[in-house]
Chains A and B, each alone.
Chain A
Amino acid sequence: ETGVTQTPRHLVMGMTNKKSLKCEQHLGHNAMYWYKQSAKKPLELMFVYSLEERVENNSVPSRFSPECPNSSHLFLHLHTLQPEDSALYLCASSQDFSGSVQFFGPGTRLTVL
């Protein structure tokens, strides 16, 4: 599937590193999302962008910084992460912000040492 792609697929970083996750959607959608998926926990919504404007920020620590330069691309910038931030980070997109089906990317498996 190439609808929603994410890079890298796997990332190992130290607590002092700075890295970025990238998401790209080829579906012509107007809304994009970042989710965190930890073991034994439900998917946690982190950020929502609609038409390149952030419309939701679920009290995410400032060490996670999203960027949406256009409706096809979404980034998650990471700095000074903690080991408990290790998780699968999933990007999703939907046609619009209002009750549309969300399509997920394959995720980035992040390990913080």
Chain B
Amino acid sequence: GENVEQHPSTLSVQEGDSAVIKCTYSDSASNYFPWYKQELGKRPQLIIDIRSNVGEKKDQRIAVTLNKTAKHFSLHITETQPEDSAVYFCAAGGEGKLIFGQGTELSVKP
């Protein structure tokens, strides 16, 4: 069945360092790849998304890259801050159906 693998499951970085989270997907028909941030006790919130006609997208300290041939996409956070600490979910899909990855718990230590 359709599947999204996300790694690592936990990630600890020092404030100011970069963090990279990677996802692979199985459904080659996927054309929409959002990333969500979920702080403890709060709802998932979209932080950035990319569509299959784009290879890279950047928004301030956050960037996402997509390799459709290899069926993987990554989230890059630069100059991390303690408030970046949260669980990050990738997702892949289209036609309304999103398959989510298992989540990455990011901890940014001051």
A42 to B45, CA, bound (A): 15
Q: Which of A41, A55, A90, A98 contacts B44 (CB 8 A)?
A: A90
User: Considering only CB atoms and an 8 Å cut-off, how many residues of chain B contact the other chain?
Assistant: 26
1/0 per position for A30-42, CB-CB distance to B under 8 A?
0101000000111
Q: Across the interface, do A98 and B34 meet the contact criterion of CB distance under 8 Å?
A: no
B13 is an interface residue with CB less than 8 A from chain A: no
B interface, over-half SS:
strand
Q: Across the interface, do B43 and A105 meet the contact criterion of CB distance under 8 Å?
A: yes
Q: Across the interface, do A102 and B43 meet the contact criterion of CB distance under 8 Å?
A: no
Q: Which residues of B contact A (CB under 8 A)?
A: 4, 6, 31-32, 34, 36, 42-46, 49, 51, 89, 91, 93-103
With A50-B96, A99-B94, A99-B95 already in contact, 4 other A-B pairs whose C-beta atoms are closer than 8 Å:
A98-B96, A99-B51, A101-B49, A106-B42
